[in-house]
């Protein structure tokens, strides 16, 4: 199935644009619980309210040698009708990117990946060649330091453009299989609005809701297309750790339902 079709189907399955970030942090999880047990309960509690899960590989690498096993088992727990996006921010010389692509798509079986544009087209091509998978290119990220490079003005096709605008334009040029999307932070509303107007057919992965304080209403208004689609609105800590201790799963379910309903309301 083509990635855009899968995205649409996943959104329709629970009438949701919410994507929960599975970022298990031993400092915030209930004491004595493994990351896999935590993820299992989070997925069971939140699945009815989401279109998918975004799995940041950093939290699994940080678990040491069990990390990959937990990551791989977590991917298998995600219901097949929902999306699994590996937030890996990959990108290296072509030959190395081929190995990165095999890892996230063949080994983990994820539906999508995040990738950095910094090394250029040949660093992304191995991912793009998986025509049914989604590649979300970092365009205007949610963190404060994102302005250091992304907001630099540069000469592009005879005009002064911000670097993030060049990234978006190149991403569109590379989108011959319609499997490329952009990462745009929920803390960057002005750029989110501009990008949506310029790229009405591209999916956007939008992190920064919840702990980072992104504005949910503005995110829906600026980030979705005219039919209210093509946005994956992401929250991790705001859902995973909405309540502490033994009530974490119930807290996550409530937070996810509330966010899904608010998105649909807006």
Catalytic residue numbers, as ranges: 89
- State the number of binding residues for ligand U5P (CB under 6 A): 18
Q: Which stretch binds ligand U5P (CB under 6 A): 3-11, 96-104, 147-155, 235-243?
A: 235-243
CA distance 88 to 100: 9
**24, 233 in Cβ contact below 8 A?**
no
Q: Binding of ligand U5P at residue 212 (CB under 6 A)?
A: yes
- DSSP H helical ranges for 137-206: 147-150, 163-173, 189-198
Q: Which of residues 129-148 bind ligand U5P (CB under 6 A)?
A: 141-142
CB contact set of 40 (below 8 Å; sequence gap of 6+): 77
CA distance 38 to 251: 13
Least distance to ligand U5P, CB of residue 9, Å: 23
**54, 205 in Cβ contact below 8 A?**
yes
Phi, psi of 212 (to 5 degrees): -90, -5
Q: Which of residues 7-36 bind ligand U5P (CB under 6 A)?
A: 21, 23
Q: Which of residues 96-125 bind ligand U5P (CB under 6 A)?
A: none
CA distance 238 to 49: 15
CA distance 82 to 232: 12
Which is nearer to ligand U5P, 90 or 157 (by Cβ)? 90
Q: Which stretch binds ligand U5P (CB under 6 A): 78-86, 164-172, 207-215, 224-232?
A: 207-215
Which is nearer to ligand U5P, 138 or 230 (by Cβ)? 138
Least distance to ligand U5P, CB of residue 150, Å: 10
Least distance to ligand U5P, CB of residue 97, Å: 19
Measured CA angle at 6 (ends 201, 264), to 5 deg: 70
Which is nearer to ligand U5P, 9 or 189 (by Cβ)? 189
- Crossing angle of helices 67-77/35-46, nearest 10°? 20
Q: Binding of ligand U5P at residue 166 (CB under 6 A)?
A: no
Least distance to ligand U5P, CB of residue 1, Å: 25
CB atoms inside a 10 Å sphere around CB 227:
8
Q: Which of 36, 85, 135, 183 binds ligand U5P (CB under 6 A)?
A: 183
CA distance 234 to 223: 12
Which is nearer to ligand U5P, 116 or 225 (by Cβ)? 116
CB contact set of 231 (below 8 Å; sequence gap of 6+): 17, 203, 204, 206, 219, 220, 223, 224, 225
Q: Which stretch binds ligand U5P (CB under 6 A): 1-9, 45-53, 156-164, 229-237?
A: 229-237
Binding site for ligand U5P (CB under 6 A): 21, 23, 56, 87, 141-142, 183, 185, 207-208, 210-212, 234-238
């Amino acid at each position: 199935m083509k990635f855009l079709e899968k995205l649409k189907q996943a959104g329709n399955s629970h009438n949701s644009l919410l994507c929960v970030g599975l970022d298990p942090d031993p400092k915030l999880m209930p004491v004595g619980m493994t990351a896999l047990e935590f993820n299992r309960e989070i997925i069971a509690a939140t699945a009815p309210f989401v279109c998918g899960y975004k799995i940041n590989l950093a939290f699994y690498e940080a678990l040491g040698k069990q990390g990959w096993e937990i990551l791989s088992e977590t991917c298998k727990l995600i219901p097949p009708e929902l999306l699994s996006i590996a937030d890996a921010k990959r990108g290296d010389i072509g030959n190395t990117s081929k190995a990165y692509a095999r890892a996230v798509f063949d080994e983990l079986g994820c539906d999508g990946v995040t990738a950095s544009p910094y090394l250029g087209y040949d660093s992304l091509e191995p991912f793009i060649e998986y025509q049914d998978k989604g590649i979300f290119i970092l365009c205007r990220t949610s963190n404060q330091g994102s302005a250091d490079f992304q907001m630099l003005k540069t000469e592009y096709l005879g005009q002064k453009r911000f670097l993030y605008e060049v990234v978006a334009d190149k991403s569109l040029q590379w989108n011959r299989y319609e499997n490329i999307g952009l990462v745009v932070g929920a803390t960057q509303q002005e750029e989110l609005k501009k990008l949506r107007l310029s790229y009405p057919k591209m999916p956007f992965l939008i992190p920064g809701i919840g702990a980072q304080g992104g504005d949910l209403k503005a995110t829906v208004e600026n980030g979705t297309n005219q039919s209210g689609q093509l946005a994956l609105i992401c929250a991790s800590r705001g859902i995973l750790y909405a309540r502490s201790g033994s009530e974490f799963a119930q807290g996550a379910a409530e937070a996810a339902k509330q966010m899904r309903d608010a998105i649909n309301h807006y």
